[in-house]
Structure 1
Amino acid sequence: MKKFFSLGALIVFLSVSLVHVTFAAETEAEMRAALEKQLSAYEELIKQQQALVQGKQSERQSLERDLDLINAQIKKARLGIQARELAISQIDNQIEDKVGVIGDLTESLEKQRQSLGQLLRQTQEIDDYSLIEMILSNQSLSEFFDDLENFQSIKSSLNGSLETVKVTRTDTEEQKASLEEKQISEEKLKRLQEQEKANIEDQEAQKAEVLTVTKGEEAKYQALLQQSQKSAAQIRAQLFEVSGGGGAIPFPDAVAFAQVASQKTGVSAALILAILEQESAYGANIGSCTATEIVYGKQVMHPDRDQSIFLALATELGFDVNTQPISCPWIRSGERIGWGGAMGPSQFIPSTWAYYGGIVGSGTSYHYDKNSDYIRKLTGKDKASSPFNNQDAFMATGLLMRDNGGAGGTYNAEWTAAIRYFAGWNGPSNSINYPYGDNVMKRRARLEGEIKVLQGG
Structure 2
Amino acid sequence: MSKFLTFFIALSLAMPLSVTVAQSSCTSETAGKSRAQLEQELEACNREIAQWQETLNKTREVSASYSRDVALLTAKINAAQANIKAKNNQIASLGKDIAAKQSKINVLDSRIDRGRRAIADILRKTNDINSYSLVEAVLSDKDLSEFFVDMDTYTSTEEALSELFAELRTVKKLTESEKAALAKKREQEAANKAAMEAAKKEVEISQAEKKTLLAVSQNKEKTYAQIVAERQANAAKIRAVLFPLVDAGAIPFGTALQYAETASRATGVRPALILGVLQQESDLGANVGRCIITDLSTGQTKNVNTGYVWQNGIHPTRDLPLLQNILNKLGRDPLNTRVSCPIAGVPGYGGAMGPTQFIPSTWNLIAGKISAATGKTTPDPWNPADAIMAAAILLAGNGATTQDWTNERTAACKYYSGQTCYKTVYNSKTGKYEVVANVGLSYGNKVMSRATTIQTTMIDPLQNL
On whether the aligned pair clears a TM of 0.5, the verdict is yes
Query: Is 2:68 aligned against 1:65?
Result: yes
* Counterpart residue number, 1:443: 455
Instruction: Find the aligned partners of 2:454 and 2:151 in 1 and give their Cα distance.
Output: 79
Alignment of 1:420-439 (within 5 A): 421-422=408-409
Which runs of 5 or more residues in structure 2 are unaligned?
Answer: 1-31, 282-287, 289-313, 321-339, 349-353, 412-447
> In the TM superposition, what is the alpha-carbon distance from 1:392 to its structure 2 partner?
7.6
Instruction: Find the aligned partners of 2:189 and 2:248 in 1 and give their Cα distance.
Output: 30
Which runs of 5 or more residues in structure 1 are unaligned?
Answer: 1-28, 284-289, 291-310, 327-343, 348-352, 360-367, 407-413, 425-435
Q: Contact 1:240–1:248 (CA<8 Å) still a contact in 2?
A: no
**Alignment partner of 1:196 out of 196, 199, 212:** 199
**Alignment partner of 2:85 out of 78, 82, 85:** 82
Q: Contact 1:418–1:440 (CA<8 Å) still a contact in 2?
A: no
Question: What is the identity percentage for the equivalent residue pairs of Structure 1 and Structure 2?
Answer: 25
Query: Is 2:165 aligned against 1:153?
Result: no
> In the TM superposition, what is the alpha-carbon distance from 1:151 to its structure 2 partner?
0.9
* Counterpart residue number, 1:17: none
Instruction: Find the aligned partners of 1:321 and 1:125 in 2 and give their Cα distance.
Output: 60
Alignment of 1:345-356 (within 5 A): none
Q: Contact 1:57–1:69 (CA<8 Å) still a contact in 2?
A: yes
Q: When the two structures are superposed, what TM-score results if normalisation uses the length of structure 1?
A: 0.57
Q: In the superposition, relative to structure 1, how do residues 77 and 371 fare at CA in structure 2: closer, same or farther (>3 Å)?
A: closer
Q: In the superposition, relative to structure 1, how do residues 96 and 54 fare at CA in structure 2: closer, same or farther (>3 Å)?
A: same
* Counterpart residue number, 1:399: 393
Query: Is 2:272 aligned against 1:274?
Result: yes
* SS of the residue 1:161 aligns to: helix
Query: Is 2:50 aligned against 1:52?
Result: no
* Counterpart residue number, 2:225: 222
* Counterpart residue number, 2:259: 259
* Counterpart residue number, 1:94: 97
Q: In the superposition, relative to structure 1, how do residues 324 and 313 fare at CA in structure 2: closer, same or farther (>3 Å)?
A: farther
* Counterpart residue number, 1:208: 211
Q: CA RMSD in A?
A: 5.3
* SS of the residue 1:54 aligns to: helix
> In the TM superposition, what is the alpha-carbon distance from 1:224 to its structure 2 partner?
0.3
Query: Is 2:250 aligned against 1:238?
Result: no
Q: In the superposition, relative to structure 1, how do residues 74 and 36 fare at CA in structure 2: closer, same or farther (>3 Å)?
A: same
> In the TM superposition, what is the alpha-carbon distance from 1:205 to its structure 2 partner?
1.4
Q: Contact 1:358–1:374 (CA<8 Å) still a contact in 2?
A: no
- Structure showing greater relative contact order (alpha-carbon pairs closer than 8 Å, 6 or more residues apart): 1
Deviations 1:94-115 (A, max 9, x none): 2233333333333432332232
Q: Contact 2:356–2:391 (CA<8 Å) still a contact in 1?
A: yes
Q: In the superposition, relative to structure 1, how do residues 450 and 44 fare at CA in structure 2: closer, same or farther (>3 Å)?
A: closer
> In the TM superposition, what is the alpha-carbon distance from 1:190 to its structure 2 partner?
1.4
Q: Contact 1:272–1:394 (CA<8 Å) still a contact in 2?
A: no
Instruction: Find the aligned partners of 2:194 and 2:316 in 1 and give their Cα distance.
Output: 30
Q: In the superposition, relative to structure 1, how do residues 45 and 251 fare at CA in structure 2: closer, same or farther (>3 Å)?
A: same
Equivalent pairs, count: 341
> In the TM superposition, what is the alpha-carbon distance from 1:38 to its structure 2 partner?
2.8
Instruction: Find the aligned partners of 1:166 and 1:384 in 2 and give their Cα distance.
Output: 52
Q: Contact 2:231–2:461 (CA<8 Å) still a contact in 1?
A: no
